[in-house]
Amino acid sequence: MDKLNSSESAAAELSPIEQGKRLAGYKACECLRDGMLIGLGTGSTAFYAIERTGQLVAEGLRIKAVATSEATAKLAAARHIPLLSADAVTELDVAIDGVDEIDPQFNAIKGGGGALFREKIIAMMSKEVIWVMDERKLVPAIGDFHLPVEILPFGASSLIYKIDHLGLKPRLRCRRGEELPDWTCPTVRRQIEVLQNPSESKQLWVTDNGNLLVDLMVDAPLDLGYIQKNLLPLTGVLETGLFLNICARMYVGGQGTVREIINPSPAKR
C-alpha cells in the first residue's frame, strides 16, 4: 500500500471533527509550489497541513519552512521538511495555520496552543495567510473562546492586577500534562500566590519565548476597541491572540467536504 492510500485508510478511522480538520489542512497545501518559503502553524488542525507538506516533500516538492513553535519544528523535522530560522528570511510566500475562533469579518482569536506571538510574527512576514479549521471555529462574534495574552514574567503580579482592574477576567495559564492548559487559579490572589511560590510556579505555562500566558475569560461579542485601547498599552503585555483581518482565505472542513472562504479585503501587512 502506498503512502497516500495508507494515509487515506488512517483518515477513515478519524472522528468527523478530525476528518474535517484533515480535509482543510490537506486542501490548503494545494497552493504549495517549488521554491516557496512557507510558514507552518501550530495546533491540531495545522498538524494536518504539516503532515501533507511532509508527504509532498517526500514526493519531490522543493520548499523551505519556518515553524511557529518548537512543537511544530519537531513535527516538521520528523517529516523531513527543510526548516529555516525566522531570522534567515525577511518574507514568506504563504503561512498555513489553524484558528480558535473566526467571525464573518475575518477577525479571529488564536493562541490556544500557546504559540500566538510567533504565529503573528510569521503571519506578518507572509504574503498570504491561509487558515484551516473545522466548522466549529466559525462564529457570529469572537469572544466565547478565551483570549490568550503573552506577558513578560518580570512584574507579572502587578500586570495581572491591572488587567483584572480593566474587567478582563485574567486567568494565569498553567500546564496540566504536556499540552493541556489548566486554569486552577480562578482568583487574582491565587494567581499571585502561584507566581510568588517557586514550587508552584513550575506549573506555569511558559511559551517558547520564555514568557507567560494569561487567558482573558471574557464573553462574546468581544469589545475589540476597548481591548486595543486599554490592554495593549500596558507595559508587560507583549502580544494578544487577536488576529484582525489578517487571513486572506480559509478552508473549512466538515461533512466530507471543504469550503473555501475568501477575504475580499485582507489588511495590508
- Of 119, 135, 179, 239, which one is the catalytic site residue? 119
**99 labelled binding-site residue:** yes
Name the grid cell of 105. Answer: 469579518
Q: Is 135 a catalytic residue?
A: no
- Grid cell 519531490 in the structure block, residue: 60
**187 labelled binding-site residue:** no
**137 labelled binding-site residue:** yes
CA dist 139 → 27, 39, 98, 178, 258 (Å): 21, 25, 15, 29, 17
Collapsing DSSP states into helix, strand and coil, what is residue 105?
Answer: coil
- What does the angle CA 84 – CA 90 – CA 96 come to, to the nearest 5 degrees? 65
**155 labelled binding-site residue:** no
**237 labelled binding-site residue:** no
| Close Cβ partners of 128 (under 8 Å, ≥ 6 residues apart) | 31, 93, 94, 95, 248, 249
Q: Are the C-beta atoms of 67 and 40 separated by less than 8 Å?
A: yes
**74 labelled binding-site residue:** no
**110 labelled binding-site residue:** yes
**98 labelled binding-site residue:** yes
**182 labelled binding-site residue:** no
Give the active site residues: 119
Please report, in range form, the residues annotated as the binding site for substrate: 42-45, 97-100, 110-113, 137
Query: Residues comprising the binding site?
Result: 42-45, 97-100, 110-113, 137
